[in-house]
Structure 1
């Protein structure tokens, strides 16, 4: 099994599973402002999910001065996390302040 990395700039966090990486991003990093609509969202996966679920690819490209490679990379991250992670478990852990259910 490969380790998951945080992916937020400047963070070297590595995690056993996708859920732990996303919980870490959500609880340990500053929120970021969406450049399309101004919403404040957690950095990392949830920022990517917000951008692509709430806005068109064209809006994302214009607001972030991105290219198609950047879009494909972020879509790949979103797809990988959603294929691997239990999103309900992430929500429960975020609501619990990042503590695993067994703690």
Structure 2
């Protein structure tokens, strides 16, 4: 099994499963304010998902002064997490379910 790294602001926390990494990002890091619309979201995966599900790539590039490599990198992270993670388990654990 490949370990999952947090990756936020130089955080070097590593987890055995992707769900634990996403939970860590959500619980242990400050919220992120979307530069496109001002919505406050958890940093990490949920911020990436918000940006690419709610806004166009062009809006993201303009708001974050990003280049195509940054967009591709974040799209890859989003795709890998969504391929591997049981996001329903993440939501249940965030809601306090066992």
1:2 alignment partner in structure 2: 2
Quote the offset at 1:10 in angstroms: 2.5
Instruction: Output the TM-score relative to the length of structure 2.
Output: 0.97
The runs of 5 or more residues in structure 2 that have no matched partner are none
**Cα distance per residue 1:72-96 (max 9 Å; x no partner):** 0000000000000001001011112
State the distance in 2 between where 1:11 and 1:70 align.
19
Q: Superposition RMSD on alpha carbons, in Å?
A: 1.0
Task: Report the equivalent of 1:95.
Answer: 95
**Correspondence list, 1:1-103, <5 A:** 1-96=1-96, 101=98
Helix, strand or coil at the partner of 1:50: helix
Distance in 2 (alpha carbons) for counterparts of 1:32 and 1:81: 19
Aligned length: 98
Runs of 4+ in 1 over 3 A off after TM superposition: none
